[in-house]
Chains A and B, each alone.
Chain A
């Protein structure tokens, strides 16, 4: 394997891994804080990409503004989803909310088949050109995607350090005691939902210039995000980050050797790792529903 190929594989892996990490951290946040397993997260990712495309192509917004628009729209959709549907089923427990989100994902999928997602959309590349370091050539667009993903993860880290972030972590730990301390848990619920869904939307919009927007991007990314969630530990934010990049790199490198069997390679990899660390890579995650 030449050095260029090796670095290109790593960059590809980091790029897709960044996406997995962002979607999975949205998933892990909603699971850890408000105990909701949101299966519609992948569909939010797809919608984010399409909204960014529409904002850039149809409304002529500059790309960074379109990213913010997608973040806002997906956050809003998440909040509406929470208040409209999830809140009514929460009294029936973890399992009913999970099934509701599965059905909601199905509805989004079907609606988008009939309307906007009937054909793939490709945005003109925002960052063309290549980065040449010695004999290694790397596309600039992919580097920007990786950079954006890391910046968003850092921002998320600082968000969790603010007052509302600590309130979120407190209610993740124990909802009853958090209520006693004067935390407005109703507010925590919708803020968490907005942040979780917004993360998916923003992931979809930053990957758009590289891969374009298509219908299957939602389910594809969601399956990997599930694996990231398992590997990183359910409810662990930093675990999702590390596991996301790890799975991205393993997938990309395995593709070079075994072609489209690479998903099996990740499954074996994740299976072996969670055999030795069932609680996730980093150990202690947020408490999750169960025993």
Chain B
């Protein structure tokens, strides 16, 4: 057998992800799609945390991509073209905004991003071309040839492809020379600049790559949701994106946000019996996770639970 034992878990995960729409109800597939979109946003946040920049403007750029796509699709441009134009415009706009605040250090960036987030939300809501507070509705579905992607299963595979693309690009980036420079900046800013790493340049590259993927997620979100509303992209909504990384595990840049998004998005479904108190129960559980699992769920599993299971011989032999 050329297969190593270590490969069993990833193969299993991929099979589950591919078979997911056929195993569960259409409603759960819908939650799966939102989870994928949110985990892409969480991945972009983990990317910026690599260089020590907690960005608060993820919802803003997500909305930027979504609104660009929506406006262009309303004007009759095909979905695939808008999914290219939106991210490129987001990178150009990001270059303009971030060149103002990024060279001034982390706190100026943090503050400026909050302003950007609030400002974008206000612009989405109050500019008439963007549909006001009601947003733009009734957008066309993405097309492949003459086939419309309307069923939840097709959209699930579309978004899954985007997620896989994201993971591959991030993995290649993290293992490249750039990724090593980011790691250095994240662990010590002064040390890394003393060994000749251009901190501002690397940080700028980092946030612009993040911008590209966030806006791409926005475009795909429009393809799935077929409507945009300012409330989706509000500052408060953006804050909840930041939770995924912490819940999943701070030191897991790729698995952490995905796992966190999975937990935070699917948990409300299992507390459906709590009815209108669902949001409260979810918040309380996330607070408890933050309080008692400081390394996040993945970190807790790897450091504590795994050794405990192995000691009692309950851990499956193939996964070792």
Chain A residues, CB < 8 A from B287: 85, 100, 103-104
A288–B118 CB distance below 8 A: no
- Do A89 and B111 touch across chains, with their CB atoms under 8 A apart? no
Within 221-275 of A, Cβ neighbours of B (below 8 Å) are at 223, 226-227, 229-230, 234, 260-261, 263-264, 267, 270-271, 274-275
Known: A99-B242, A102-B239, A264-B126. A107 touches B118 (CB 8 A): no
Question: Number of contact residues on A: which range applies?
Answer: 35 or more
CB atoms of A110 and B246 under 8 A apart = no
Contact with A along B280-318 (1 / 0, CB 8 A): 100110110011101000000000000000000000000
* CB within 8 Å: A-B pair count: 98
A264 contacts which of B119, B279, B283 (Cβ < 8 Å)? B119
Against A, the Cβ 8 Å flags (1 = close, 0 = not) of B98-114 are: 00110011111011101
Q: Is the CB of A95 within 8 A of B246?
A: yes
Main secondary structure of the interface of B (DSSP, over half): helix
Q: For chain A residues 151-200, which have a beta carbon within 8 Å of chain B?
A: none
Instruction: Choose from A100, A226, A229, A291 the contact partner of B105 (Cβ within 8 Å).
Output: A291
A110 to B277, CA, bound (A): 8
Q: Does A96 contact B (CB under 8 A)?
A: yes
Are B111 and A219 in contact, with the CB atoms below 8 A? Answer: no
Contact B294 A114 (CB under 8 A): no
Q: By the criterion CB–CB under 8 Å, are A89 and B115 in contact?
A: no
CB-defined contacts of A274 to chain B, threshold 8 Å: 108, 111-112, 115
A89 and B290 contact, Cβ closer than 8 Å, known pairs A110-B280, A263-B122? yes
A267 interface neighbour in B107, B122, B236, B290, Cβ under 8 Å: B122
| A260 to B126 alpha-carbon distance, docked (Å) | 8
B235 and A227 form a contact (CB under 8 A): no
Min CB distance, B271 to chain A, in Å?
13
Q: Would you call B119 and A290 a contact (CB within 8 A)?
A: no
- Is A91's beta carbon under 8 Å from chain B? yes
Interface residues on B, range: 35 or more
B239 touches A39 (CB 8 A): yes
* CB of A122 closer than 8 Å to a CB of B: no
The chain A residue with its CB closest to the CB of B112 is: A274
Interface string of B3-30 (1 = CB under 8 A from A): 0000000000000000000000000000
Chain B residues whose CB sits within 8 angstroms of the CB of A100 once the complex forms: 287, 290-291
A124 within 8 A of B: no
The reply to whether B114 and A230 form a contact with Cβ atoms under 8 Å apart is yes
CA distance A259 to B107 in the complex (A): 32
- The reply on A278 being an interface residue by CB < 8 A is yes
A110 touching B123 in the complex, CB below 8 Å, given contacts A89-B290, A103-B286: no
Q: Which residues of B contact A91 (CB under 8 A)?
A: 294
Interchain CB contact under 8 A, A107 and B284: yes
**Residues of A near any B CB (own CB < 8 A):** 39, 85, 88-89, 91-92, 95-96, 99-100, 102-104, 106-107, 110-111, 114, 219, 223, 226-227, 229-230, 234, 260-261, 263-264, 267, 270-271, 274-275, 278-279, 288, 290-291
Q: A95-B242, A104-B287 are in contact. List 14 more A-B contacts (CB 8 A).
A: A91-B294, A99-B243, A103-B290, A106-B280, A107-B284, A110-B279, A110-B280, A110-B283, A111-B280, A226-B114, A230-B111, A274-B112, A290-B110, A291-B52
